[in-house]
A = this chain, B = another copy of it.
C-alpha cells in the first residue's frame, strides 16, 4: 500500500465514520442509475453502526476478479506477456517453433481454442524454471515497454476508471480489498499495488509450486512446473477461503468463460449482508462486446441475485483517459 493510500485510509478512519464527504460523488464515472444507487445504499447500510445490516470492519471483505473486471481482457494482458516470453524462449531454442503447442499459438490460434493441457504447457515454459525474483524482473521489464495494441498506452492504463473509484470508495469505508483471479499470482503482484493500491499479500491467483533452493549461499524460491492451483471457476472460492479465511461480502466478476459464477455465489451465500456484480461486456464502441455461448454467467446472475453491470449503460467513462482513447475503438 502506498503511503498516500495509507494516509487517506487513516484520514478516513479518523474523520469519518462512513462513506464519502457529504455532497461529493464517490463514483463520478458511474452513470446515475439503479446499480450505482444500490452500491451506495449497500455500503451505507453495512457501515451504519446502529443499523440492522451493520457489518464490522474485519468482515468487510471485498474480492475482485482482475481480467475483464479491473482491467480490459481484450487482449488478455498475461497472454500478451506469455507470447512475449515465448519469443524470448525461441531465441534460445529455435526448434520450439515447430513443436506443439507453441506452433499453434505462434500461428495465431486464440488461447480459448487451445486445450487446458496445451495452455499449461505454454505457461510452464514461459513462467517457470527461474527464481521468483528473476520472474518478477521479467514481468517488470514487459510492463515497461509493452503497449496495448488498440489503446496504444501501457497495459497498466488499460484499467477501468470506474473500478478504481469503486476500490477507493470501498477502501474509504474500511473494506479490505483482495484480487482473486485466474491470472498467475506473481505476474499480478508486480503491478497490482501500483495500479490498484492492493498490496501483494492481498492478491490471490493461480500458481505453480515453488521449491526452496540455495543459490550462491542464499535461499531462493524457484518456480517449478508443478501446478499448485488454477484459481478459476469452482477453485476460486477455495483459493479465496484458503487465503482470507472468510467469505467475501462484496464480490465483482465478469462474464466471458463462467470463471466468476462460483466466486460470486460463494459471496452471495454468506450469512452476512452481501453484494455481487457480474460485468456484461456490451460496449463495442468504448471497450469490447463479447458474451458466452451458453450465457451461463448472466443466467447465474439472474438465478442467484447478482447485479449485472452494463459497461455501455452504467459507465460514463471506461478508461482513465477516455477522450483520447475512445476514438481508437
The listed residue (B3, B221, B234) touching A212 by CB distance below 8 A is B234
User: Which residues does chain B contribute within 8 Å of A21, judged by CB atoms?
Assistant: none
A87 located at the interface, meaning its Cβ lies under 8 Å from any Cβ of chain B in the complex: no
Asked if B237 contacts A199 (CB within 8 A), the reply is: no
Using known A-B contacts A221-B237, A237-B219, determine if residue A200 contacts B245 with beta carbons closer than 8 Å: yes
- Partner of A244 from the list B200, B241, B245 (CB cut-off 8 Å) is B200
Chain B residues lying within 8 Å of A199, measured Cβ to Cβ, are 58, 176
A13 CB within 8 Å of chain B: yes
Does A65 make an interface contact (CB < 8 A)?
A: no
Task: Tell me the complex Cα distance, A237–B241, Å.
Answer: 21
Residues of B within 8 A of A244 (CB): 200-201
Residues in chain B near residue A245, CB distance under 8 A: 185-186, 189, 200-201, 203
Alpha-carbon distance between A200 and B9 when the two chains are bound, in angstroms? 20
Q: Which of B57, B202, B210 contacts A6 (CB 8 A)?
A: B57
A11 close to B (CB within 8 Å): yes
A266 nearest CB across to chain B (Å): 5
Residues of B within 8 A of A9 (CB): 10, 13
**Across the interface, which residues of B come within 8 angstroms of A218, CB to CB?**
269
Verify if A174 is at the interface (C-beta below 8 Å from B). yes
Interface assignment of A306: CB less than 8 Å from any CB of chain B? no
Which interface class (under 10, 10 to 19, 20 to 34, 35 or more) fits A?
35 or more
Tell me, in angstroms, the Cα distance from A266 to B220 when the chains sit together: 8
- Inter-chain CA distance A242–B231, complex, in Å, is 13
- A231 → chain B closest CB, angstroms: 12
- Is the CB of A132 closer than 8 A to any CB of chain B? yes
Scan residues 173-189 of chain A and give those whose CB is less than 8 A from a CB of chain B: 174, 176, 178, 185-186, 189
> Cβ of A322 < 8 Å from any Cβ of B?
no
Known: A242-B207, A244-B200. A7 touches B1 (CB 8 A): no
Q: Let me know if A2 is at the binding interface, CB within 8 A.
A: yes
A185 to B242, CA, bound (A): 8
Residues of A bordering B, CB below 8 Å: 1-3, 6-7, 9-11, 13-14, 56-58, 61, 132, 174, 176, 178, 185-186, 189, 193, 199-203, 207, 209-212, 218-219, 221, 228, 234-235, 237-238, 241-246, 262, 265-266, 269
What are 11 pairs between A and B in contact, CB < 8 Å? A6-B57, A6-B174, A10-B10, A58-B193, A58-B199, A201-B202, A201-B244, A211-B238, A212-B237, A219-B237, A219-B266
Question: Known contacts A3-B57, A210-B241; can you find 16 more A-B pairs with CB under 8 A?
Answer: A1-B57, A7-B13, A185-B242, A201-B201, A201-B202, A201-B243, A201-B244, A207-B242, A212-B234, A212-B235, A212-B238, A212-B262, A218-B269, A219-B269, A221-B238, A221-B241
